[in-house]
Amino acid sequence: MERSADPELACPVAPVVDIVFSRWTTPILWALHEYGRQRFVELERRLTSITPKVLTQRLRQLERDGLVARTYHAEVPPRVEYEITELGASLGPLFAHLATWTDAHLEKVERARRAYDTAR
């Protein structure tokens, strides 16, 4: 089997990691999965350290990737809601597995970091 020089082609999960684990994607998807359909301001309140500009950019990217659906309601004032799509929700088992891994191993990672930092 020939190996590619392109790291994304050499590792078949690299494109998915870029989509799902880029900064703010996981917290946004988690909030929409846990709390359901939300308006922009509700997401802003849940993700307190994200800027409105970054939230807008991430929501647009997630919509483009098919993980989030945006619904515009032509009312006065206009209302926009975001919800996780079926494709986005299909990541639930992955997140659950990562949460289980975190519970089992994060303390070991933190110990390794402390040992490494102390040795330097």
Q: Which of 57, 78, 63 is nearest to 32 (CA)?
A: 63
Answer yes or no: do 54 and 99 share one domain.
no
Answer yes or no: do 74 and 29 share one domain.
yes
Q: What is the CATH number of the domain that holds 34?
A: 1.10.10.10
Answer yes or no: do 69 and 47 share one domain.
yes
Q: pLDDT band for position 91 (50/70/90)?
A: very high
pLDDT surpasses 90 at 104: yes
Give Cα 26 to chain centroid, integer Å. 2
What does the pLDDT look like over 22-72, one tens digit per residue?
889 999 999 999 999 999 999 999 999 999 999 999 999 999 999 999 999
Q: List the domain range (segments joined by +) for residue 66.
A: 1-88
